[in-house]
Amino acid sequence: MSTVAGGGHANQKRSLAKTLVWRCVATTDTIIISRMITGSWTEGLAIGIIEVFTKMLLYYFHERAWSRSDWGLGEVDGKEDRLPGEGHANRKRSVAKTFLWRGIATTDTIIISWMITGSWTEGLSIGIIEVFTKMILYYFHERAWSSTDWGLDDPEAPDVSPAH
């Protein structure tokens, strides 16, 4: 399958929208898990609020990095160009993004949780539980976004970039 350089990739608006939607889902999950582990809504909320900022920044750059890769785009689960454009991710791409993001995010969660609680045990507990809950939530988040063209560059649009 041929692709147009840069065609079908997420534009900055899509990356930002995905960042905001994911952060709402993920922060809610973090606060609930943190409360379960620490027994404190105050610590759970503190961890969740700090993560809003650190994770939004990390996630945005994660999305921008993936937007530069053609791997796993175009052929969606065995169907060529199911919808106009070539920006739809296949399941392998969604799984790869899920595992990579989870490694980055879990490290962030453990460090923040330790800083708030003062306990490596609680930080690791929160991080380990999140590995499972967040990977499931993130995979479905990716699949939902792969079903829409919104915010994808049009691979059929003529290339008007300077030739130098």
43-98 confidence digits (pLDDT tens): 999 999 999 999 889 988 998 899 888 888 865 555 544 444 445 778 888 889 98
pLDDT on residue 149 = 83
Chain center to CA of 123: 21
3 pLDDT tier (thresholds 50, 70, 90): very low
Provide the 8-state DSSP code for 1.
-
Q: And the tokens for 56?
A: 């939004």
Average predicted confidence (pLDDT) for the chain: 83
pLDDT on residue 2 = 37
Task: Please state at what angle helix 91-117 crosses helix 120-146, rounded to 10 degrees.
Answer: 150
Domain coordinates in residue numbering, the chain:
12-66+89-146
Cα 65 to Cα 68, 71, 119, distances in angstroms: 6, 12, 33
pLDDT on residue 83 = 43
Q: How many CB atoms lie within 10 A of CB 13?
A: 10
**How far apart are the C-alpha atoms of 6 and 83, rounded to whole Å?**
17
**68: Cβ–Cβ under 8 A, 6 or more apart, which residues?**
9
> Residue 36 pLDDT more than 90?
yes
